[in-house]
């Protein structure tokens, strides 16, 4: 992940956190699982030789965790499913 991508990701996560109420945020324990899964899915994507990039595809645990905490549990679950479908469903990035 480039420095610019990381800065953009941090900015987006901070902005999302500023406008999201804690009632909407996914629980911390769920977000730890989500972030670990996202990093694992990224590693799997690389092992498969796919060249996916962007905010969905990186190995930065804290970025995934903070994004998850800024969104709903349903949105985080949906994002994990999209990555899974990309990996095993043959879909594009």
3-state secondary structure the chain: CCHHHHHHHHHHHHHHHHHCCCCCCCCHHHHHHHHHHHHHHHHHHHHCCCCCCCCCCCCCHHHHHHHHHCCCHHHHHHHHHHHHHHHHCCCCC
pLDDT on residue 48: 87
How much is the pLDDT for 20?
44
Length of the chain: 93
**How far is 9 from 13, CA to CA, in rounded Å?**
6
pLDDT at 88 over 70: yes
**Interval 82-90 mean pLDDT:** 87
pLDDT of residue 17: 52
Average pLDDT score over residue span 15-34 = 72
Q: What percent of the chain has pLDDT over 90?
A: 55
């Amino acid at each position: 992940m480039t420095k610019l991508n990381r800065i953009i990701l941090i900015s987006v996560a901070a902005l999302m956190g500023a406008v999201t109420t804690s009632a909407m945020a996914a629980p911390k324990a769920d977000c730890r699982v989500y972030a670990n899964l996202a990093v694992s899915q990224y590693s799997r994507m690389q092992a498969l030789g796919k060249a996916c990039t962007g905010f969905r595809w990186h190995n930065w645990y804290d970025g995934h965790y903070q994004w998850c905490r800024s969104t709903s549990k349903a949105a985080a679950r949906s994002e994990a499913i999209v990555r899974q479908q990309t990996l095993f469903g043959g879909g594009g990035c």
